[in-house]
Structure 1
Amino acid sequence: MEPITLAQEAVKILDKKKAQNIKLIGIEDISSLANYFLLANGTSSTHVKALADEVEYQLKQKNIVPDHVEGYRSHSWVLMDYGAVVIHIFTQDARDFYDLDRLWKDGEQVDISGLLTAD
């Protein structure tokens, strides 16, 4: 699956599970870490874990598995590394503290408005 397609699929999965403040940042022009960073918030540590579980489950149904997952025990930030796409799911406090939005502000802000359901 192409990186942008994988990222868009993850956006839809997170949106359906009520993730908040979903943001997709293209970083391939400024970093060799990945092509895209996907950032999202859960409303609690339980919600963060549920979001990560759902992304992993839904993508596994399409035979896509992460290279690495970190943070299930932290209860505030789960990082899911799918190679070209790295997914960060935070509590709001952790997102504010680590401020990846600011750190990667030079990346391309990908328009995902067409992928999100209107609430």
Structure 2
Amino acid sequence: MNQASVLKIAAKACDDKRAEDILALDMEGISLIADYFLICHGNSDKQVQAIAREIKDQAEENGIDVKKMEGFDEARWILVDLGDVIVHVFHKDERSYYNLEKLWGDAPLAELELGLNS
């Protein structure tokens, strides 16, 4: 499965759990870590965990290897490693503090072809 398909599945999982301000950064040629960073946030610890759990479940249902999930218990910033796609699920308060969009400001936004909540 290609990175664009993985990105679409992860973005839909975020949207299904009503994640807010969903965006994807095209990291190809900018970072060796991944081709895409998908970033979103939830408004409570429970919602952040539900978003991350849905990403994991949807990935596994589609045969995508979830390499690692970090930060689930704290639910402030959960990182879901899907290989070429890294998903960052923030608690609303933490997202503005870490501001990955600004940190990786030279990365163009990737097109997300979904009817997203954001």
Same fold (TM over 0.5): yes
CA change 1:109–1:44 in 2 (3 A) is same
- Which residue of the partner structure matches residue 81 of structure 2? 81
8 A Cα contact 1:29 1:107, kept in partner: no
Distance 1:91 1:43 in 2: 6
3-state DSSP class of the match of 2:30? coil
- Which residue of the partner structure matches residue 108 of structure 1? 108
Distance 1:75 1:95 in 2: 12
- Which residue of the partner structure matches residue 3 of structure 2? 3
RMSD: 1.4
3-state DSSP class of the match of 2:63? coil
1:48 Cα offset (Å): 0.3
Which runs of 4 or more aligned residues in structure 1 lie more than 3 Å from their structure 2 counterparts after TM superposition?
none
2:11 corresponds to which letter in structure 1? V
8 A Cα contact 1:68 1:82, kept in partner: yes
Q: Does 1:55 align with 2:55?
A: yes
Distance 2:41 2:94 in 1: 9
2:110 corresponds to which letter in structure 1? V
Number of paired residues?
Answer: 118
Distance 1:98 1:66 in 2: 24
- TM-score, normalised to structure 2's length? 0.93
Unaligned runs of 5+ residues in structure 1 are none
8 A Cα contact 1:56 1:65, kept in partner: no
3-state DSSP class of the match of 2:74? coil
- TM-score, normalised to structure 1's length? 0.93
- Which residue of the partner structure matches residue 99 of structure 1? 99
3-state DSSP class of the match of 2:51? helix
Distance 1:109 1:48 in 2: 22
